Structure 1
Amino acid sequence: MRRHPARRAWTGAAVILAVLIGGGIVEGIVGTGTADATSSRSGTVIRRTGHGIPHILARDHHGLGLGAGYASAEDNLCLVADTVLTLSAERSRWFGADARTVDGVTNLNSDLYHASLAGTVERLLALPYPAGPSRSARDLVRGYVEGYNRYLAETTVDGLPDPTCRGAGWVRPLTELDIWRRVHEFATGGADDVQNAVVEAQPPGSTVPTTDPGPENAGAGEIGSNAYALGRQATGGAGMLLANPHLPWQGAWRLYQMQLTIPGELNVSGAGLMGMPVIGIGHNDRVAWTHTSSTAQTRTLARLTLTPGDPLGYVVDGRPHRMLAQPVTVTVRGANGTLRPVTRTLYRTPDGPLATDGPLRWTEANAYVLRDANATNLRVIDQWLAMARARTVGDVHAALTRLQGVPSYNTLAADSTGAAYYSTVQVVPHVTDDLLARCSVGPAGGPIVLDGGRSDCGWGSDPGTVVPGLLGPARLPTLTRADHVSNMNESPWLANPAAPLTGYPAILGTVGTRRSARTRLGLDMIADRVDGSDGLGPPGFSLATLQATMLGNRVLSAEEGRASTVDLCRSRPTLTAGDGQPVDVRAACAALAGWSGRADVDARGAVLWGAFVTRLTDSRVDASTVPFDPADPAHTPRGFDATRPGVDTALADAVRMLDVAGIPVDVALGDAQRYAGVPVAGCRGSDGCFNVTNTDRRPDQAVGGIRHGSTFIMAVELTPAGPRARTILTYGQSADPTSAYFTDQTRLYAAKRWVTARFTEAEIARDPALTVRRLAR
């Protein structure tokens, strides 16, 4: 009987593992830890291939966690330690109250918020599976903590290679609770957007100061993702997947690439969030999957009707209730280094904390409660472990419906049979359209606000959900196709324009509304490749054309508007700025005329175009010649008429802004946006870029760093003989500026070069950069 390729892969891994941890270690392998009588049977092996990508081989989940924790610490101990410091509510103790986190929240507000969560994760850990973690998930976390702590003990804080935290008093060993807090933080979206809202929700007349939002932070803007799942009709056979998450390049939301293998049980490769011992976007030998941020609202507000004269009393169905006052104390370091306690009282009801949201503030009459459907979600690790074991997209669907652990993301997957799958099965509050019609009291277009004075306006429940208060999987749309599905952070409606999804609850997103420029470009890129009109060769996707499509760096707004804009400035070489001053646009016109219209690193004119589109957006100028048509949503609006009022002013203002900043109008894109000195391609999604890059460059600056954008790019073909994958981790494996893996992949990214993924034991063994380390247990 012919042996299955997957069976051969498992068997090969088992043989390699037995050799490596059983004593047959080739010269050059570094052993660590103290050997004992059982180490040959219970060890963990870390193989690193090119660009420092670790392939962890172990006999069980604890061993996998051990290897993942050790490797992560080698590359990013300071980053993990800093994240843990935040979750432990100790930033003010070490860095003072007024400094800000990478997300732009003051240390004091961050600490008060995280301190208010004390006991939350502990209660969730006490729940039985599946509401609480499985034994496998707990073992992974336990091993991760041991691996991290082993590296720290071997290296010592004073001996850390990363100057970011070398010798720092705030670096300490991890606990398992630290990592579970990390999991919960991820499930709740980091909560950086609600920390100020919760901490500063105070009764009327309170003297507690409010904080300004501060500079635009790493968590703001166009965080999201693109994803394609391609079926056999689009590829000619095997399923393919493109993963393109857009996340911050700094801080706790960085991704880390690795492979996790337990012979005969688990073999998954991809990337996971730093500080979590699991693959969140990846593939095995049969299935590949990724996620995109969904439009579903996972939080709602409830407007309380307060008892007259009592700001802490509220009424539900005519019956009085009292808010719970929660004193929270954190330690703050003063300017002279002295430590002092700071106490703030926060408020909550059984549904969640009191919060403010813009004009929705605590008054004499009303207050607002924030309810988060992910507040009880520790299922993330188990969710991804289940997906990693899937053999078909049907198995992915079954894993999603069984655990409902995906916090706020769409899932797209493809398999080796050539099936493509899109799913909105995630954590969604049980807020039906009927409930909204009866109970919504919020402003149009704002967050969902329900009437908290009526018990019948609380979340409902569906039978069979993992925890109460969620929409059941049967209400959440999915789509399986033989051609393609995609998502670029829009609602489910156009996952495939040939089969629009409708009839889902409004809390998931809209139907029949205008799509973003990035979505329209993404759909256009698929259509052009399927019919072969993109110039990349015969119709249909191959792995090579999928890669080329991803890094083609098309800019939809330029494709539609550059020619008309050049005609404008050629006919009118002097334009009037918004302040009435004349602006010579001849050099700018020449730059736009000579520009390719692509957001490549050497593109001259792309920076000017981005500034121009920003001015158009800010001034609400719509120059489209064909308006949005719900009957043709993938191609409308389109066109560009540069003679529309306001277009000339926007161009003049853009030229003036670059001149004031000392930026030539024909500056190369890669000279204006860089990461650690390395040029970076791409542009904002709102400009019509698929390969998204957002910088922290202010109008008066010539060069900006990368705030967020394309991070872990993965193209996978799932052939009958096994997966073929190409990847780029755009900022490299390590945040340590002294590491060889700090910007090595950034340079690849600038040159449009990819890493050939090593998945099988034979592929790993052939890598010329291979190093091997054994960790005894």
Structure 2
Amino acid sequence: MIFTLVVSSQSINSAPKNTEILWDTYGIPHIYGNNTQGAFQAFGWAQMQSHGNLLLRLYGQARGRAAEYWGEEYLDSDKWVLTMGVPQRTRTWYQAQSPAFRSYLNAFVAGINAYAKKHPDLIDDEVEVVLPIRPEDVLSHLQRLLLFTFVVNQESVADMSQHQSPAASNGWAIAPKRSASGKAMLLANPHLPWGDLFLWYEAQMTAPGIDAYGATLVGIPVLAIAFNDRLGWTHTVNTHDGWDAYKLQLQNNGYLFDGKVRPFETTSFLLKIKQKNGSLREQILTVKSSVHGPVVSQKDGQVLALRVVGQNSSGVLEQWWDMAKANNLTQFQKALQRLQLPMFTVMYADREGHIMHLFNGLVPMRNQGDFAYWQGIIPGETSKTLWTKNHPYQDLPKVIDPASGWLQNANDPPWTITSPPAIKAEDYPLYMAPRGPVYFRAQSSARMLAEDDSISFEEMVAYKHSTRMELAERILDELIGTAKQQEDELTRRAAEVLVAWDRKADADSRGAVLFSFWVDNIDLDTLFKIPWNEKSPFTTPDGLADPQSAVKALADAAATVEKAYKKLDVAWGEIFRLRSGKLDLPANGGDGDRGIFRVVNFAPTGDERFQAVGGDSYVAAVEFSQPVKAMALTSYGNSSQPNSPHVSDQLPLFARQQLRPVWRTRKEIVAHLEERKVF
């Protein structure tokens, strides 16, 4: 492990006269800015030190020039970025920043470029072509990430059945009345893929008027999930619909709209594509746009134009920054009311004991239809279906200090965030959010909170790591009973394995592999005898609609498991692994559709095993005592740079279902100091 100490005349234990970064032994940068610009510059430097190769690659993609830099495999990405108008819009966004925040962006970029100039040997040669970075690159990356990955992405447009974001999360806020300490608590638990533009970066930022700790996605210059001494928040992907695909009626080289033919607006881009011999092939991309937005699909005689919210929301970063600077709920809501953040639930708790859930987002004001209607292809020939305004803050589903004393969101609609319900669906437009169903992970989330009327900080951390399969609780007894009655010896042995199983996906759980393979063999939509009911949102669906078919699927799963692993009761962690570099550890957790709160997504590795590729990524558990009590984990470590000791150094903790203490005071940080950088 490399220890670097930059010596200055000031004591390391004293408040800094200069801007500095104190790196702790987990590679977390604790930034002390003697002014705000200094803090932003240090944060740019820190992100380069921890994720320089990734950051430059992401900014290159956000320019729409990645194919020019790195070849054909990036061509679709470039086309998407240019079709969505990202580079052109970025210039407007940069000019729209407040003078103060524009100076912060400039400082962040100055830190990036200064690091690259100082340490060119630590940056991969192939990504150096992106340098120098400009402030506009940060805003292009922000657009690509928020608007054109989370709100809508290429896969969703290609497959209209996948209208929701593929990302997920859990979030809890617990009021003093349900907290063993009498202090409000917050649980932040986003679930994202473990790589690319979804990678979390943990940091502390301290400057005049701010001392915030949390995480952001690589390349973003402010904390997106954070807490300070007085309050904190997290985000989950909400059931928000911020885009629509409109079917156009073509006529006379234009399209029909309100009885008249309108011409398309046309923009052309010169694409340069790097070839394997280093030469550049050129190609013209022509983008047609209607009044709805750019044309994104022309096939089978159907032309679709895309309309996306948030294209005027240039103040996202400053809103996040001011959320982290807030000292109370009033100040926090004042920042939220700007509605610059295009989507995401906000889950909040503070030292005064308040908790809040906000179904945040830019929700179009639509003239007709329910949520399901707007998931489909929308007729584009009339202004009656063309939304032009969004709902104001006061229209959004929100609750502060519910009677239950707890709030949860596991990507379920806002109607089921607590029990008894605090927000009534009938009080909102039918298109605001779906009426259901509530999936098993959210049911497990609500059950843990509802069943414990005095939750300690330690219990909250333990609940966070729950691998219990809610799905198994609904149908396992009936499945086992039916399986035991079968004449087939394999089916009866499978039943005995399920009898002995602890109904969890812990590393040593035996039966979880068999059950999971069985789930893969069935159709969850037709499995249940009693369907989901919004009057019983946390106890339905239930029972087996066709026990014999379910048992047949169990026999098939048992045959597969026994053939692959030579036994039916193979341990979960033997098959499901955490692999990174030289690490190969037994995993715990699994897919949320099983009702597992501790989400880990796996991909097959080719050796009859499965490797974690996403899920629990950044976790923070916070109690707003004085001083604040906090623990956290960034599952894959806080660096992706080659040869960094912080690539996957937190993965063993992840395997043991542990969080690490958060060091926030200067005394704590100095006691766990790895490196110091003074600017």
* Both proteins in one fold, TM over 0.5: yes
Are the aligned partners of 2:93 and 2:314 in contact in 1 as well (CA < 8 Å)? yes
Q: Secondary structure at the match of 1:616?
A: coil
Are the aligned partners of 1:621 and 1:646 in contact in 2 as well (CA < 8 Å)? no
Aligned residue in 2 for 1:114: 81
Is residue 2:480 matched to residue 1:542?
no
Aligned residue in 2 for 1:395: 331
Q: Secondary structure at the match of 2:368?
A: helix
379, 393, 404: which one aligns with 2:339: 404
Q: Secondary structure at the match of 1:636?
A: coil
Aligned residue in 1 for 2:260: 319
Task: Give structure 1 regions of 4+ aligned residues with deviation exceeding 6 angstroms.
Answer: none
**Residues 398 and 193 from structure 1, CA distance in 2 versus in 1: closer, same or farther, beyond 3 angstroms?**
closer
Distance 2:563 2:335 in 1: 55
1:507, CA displacement in angstroms? 2.7
Aligned residue in 1 for 2:27: 52
Q: Secondary structure at the match of 1:188?
A: helix
1:505, CA displacement in angstroms? 2.1
The amino acid of 2:409's aligned partner reads: N
Distance 2:148 2:566 in 1: 37
Question: For residues 86-101 of structure 1, what are the structure 2 equivalents within 5 Å?
Answer: 86-97=61-72, 99=73
Aligned residue in 1 for 2:117: 153
Deviations 1:405-431 (A, max 9, x none): 222111010111211100013222222
Distance 1:144 1:663 in 2: 55
Q: Secondary structure at the match of 1:645?
A: helix
Is residue 2:466 matched to residue 1:552?
yes
Aligned residue in 1 for 2:3: none
Deviations 1:668-706 (A, max 9, x none): 3223232312333211111111111111227x6522222
Question: For residues 145-544 of structure 1, what are the structure 2 equivalents within 5 Å?
Answer: 145-156=109-120, 158-160=121-123, 165=124, 170=129, 172-190=131-149, 194-195=153-154, 222-236=166-180, 237-263=182-208, 265-307=209-251, 310=252, 312-356=253-297, 367-401=303-337, 403-431=338-366, 435-437=367-369, 447=375, 449-460=377-388, 469-481=389-401, 483-502=405-424, 503-511=427-435, 513-530=436-453, 540-544=454-458
Distance 1:376 1:353 in 2: 16
1:388, CA displacement in angstroms? 0.8
**Residues 247 and 559 from structure 1, CA distance in 2 versus in 1: closer, same or farther, beyond 3 angstroms?**
same
Distance 1:333 1:573 in 2: 63
Is residue 2:592 matched to residue 1:685?
yes
Aligned residue in 2 for 1:613: 519
Aligned residue in 2 for 1:37: none
Are the aligned partners of 2:494 and 2:554 in contact in 1 as well (CA < 8 Å)? no
Distance 1:169 1:716 in 2: 39
The amino acid of 2:450's aligned partner reads: A
Is residue 2:673 matched to residue 1:774?
no
Distance 1:88 1:261 in 2: 31
The amino acid of 1:395's aligned partner reads: Q
**Residues 174 and 25 from structure 1, CA distance in 2 versus in 1: closer, same or farther, beyond 3 angstroms?**
farther
Distance 2:222 2:443 in 1: 33
- The alignment yields a C-alpha RMSD, in angstroms, of 2.9
**Residues 602 and 329 from structure 1, CA distance in 2 versus in 1: closer, same or farther, beyond 3 angstroms?**
farther
Q: Secondary structure at the match of 2:421?
A: coil
Distance 2:151 2:398 in 1: 30
1:317, CA displacement in angstroms? 2.2
Distance 2:272 2:240 in 1: 37
Are the aligned partners of 2:109 and 2:135 in contact in 1 as well (CA < 8 Å)? yes
1:659, CA displacement in angstroms? 4.7
Q: Tell me, which stretches of 5 or more residues in structure 1 are unaligned?
A: 1-19, 30-39, 100-106, 128-132, 201-211, 461-468, 531-539, 576-583
Q: Secondary structure at the match of 2:262?
A: strand
Deviations 1:581-614 (A, max 9, x none): xxx3455444433322111122222222112112
Aligned residue in 2 for 1:561: 475
Q: Secondary structure at the match of 1:52?
A: coil
1:479, CA displacement in angstroms? 0.1
Percent identity for Structure 1 against Structure 2:
25
Aligned residue in 1 for 2:503: 597
The amino acid of 1:277's aligned partner reads: P
Is residue 2:72 matched to residue 1:137?
no
Distance 2:207 2:128 in 1: 37
**Residues 46 and 344 from structure 1, CA distance in 2 versus in 1: closer, same or farther, beyond 3 angstroms?**
same
1:136, CA displacement in angstroms? 3.9
Distance 1:222 1:363 in 2: 27
TM-score, normalization by structure 2:
0.90
11, 21, 24: which one aligns with 2:10: 24
Q: Tell me, which stretches of 5 or more residues in structure 2 are unaligned?
A: 1-5
1:542, CA displacement in angstroms? 1.5
Are the aligned partners of 2:165 and 2:237 in contact in 1 as well (CA < 8 Å)? no
1:631, CA displacement in angstroms? 2.2
Are the aligned partners of 2:309 and 2:364 in contact in 1 as well (CA < 8 Å)? yes
Are the aligned partners of 1:187 and 1:380 in contact in 2 as well (CA < 8 Å)? no
Deviations 1:226-279 (A, max 9, x none): 11111111115211101111111011111100010113x011100011111111
Q: Secondary structure at the match of 2:558?
A: helix
The amino acid of 1:60's aligned partner reads: N
**Residues 287 and 608 from structure 1, CA distance in 2 versus in 1: closer, same or farther, beyond 3 angstroms?**
same
Are the aligned partners of 2:522 and 2:553 in contact in 1 as well (CA < 8 Å)? yes
**Residues 169 and 277 from structure 1, CA distance in 2 versus in 1: closer, same or farther, beyond 3 angstroms?**
closer
1:549, CA displacement in angstroms? 0.8
**Residues 662 and 642 from structure 1, CA distance in 2 versus in 1: closer, same or farther, beyond 3 angstroms?**
farther
Are the aligned partners of 2:510 and 2:570 in contact in 1 as well (CA < 8 Å)? yes
TM-score, normalization by structure 1:
0.79
Aligned residue in 2 for 1:535: none
**Residues 708 and 370 from structure 1, CA distance in 2 versus in 1: closer, same or farther, beyond 3 angstroms?**
same
Are the aligned partners of 2:225 and 2:233 in contact in 1 as well (CA < 8 Å)? yes
**Residues 477 and 555 from structure 1, CA distance in 2 versus in 1: closer, same or farther, beyond 3 angstroms?**
same
Q: Secondary structure at the match of 1:369?
A: strand
Q: Secondary structure at the match of 1:722?
A: coil
Distance 1:426 1:750 in 2: 35
Are the aligned partners of 1:325 and 1:346 in contact in 2 as well (CA < 8 Å)? yes
**Residues 197 and 687 from structure 1, CA distance in 2 versus in 1: closer, same or farther, beyond 3 angstroms?**
closer
1:446, CA displacement in angstroms? 6.0
Aligned residue in 2 for 1:646: 549
Are the aligned partners of 2:93 and 2:139 in contact in 1 as well (CA < 8 Å)? no
The amino acid of 1:286's aligned partner reads: R
**Would you say how many aligned residue pairs link Structure 1 and Structure 2?**
661
Deviations 1:182-226 (A, max 9, x none): 11122204269644788x9xxxxxxxxxxx99xxx9x99852111
1:728, CA displacement in angstroms? 1.0
635, 653, 666: which one aligns with 2:539: 635
Are the aligned partners of 1:568 and 1:642 in contact in 2 as well (CA < 8 Å)? no
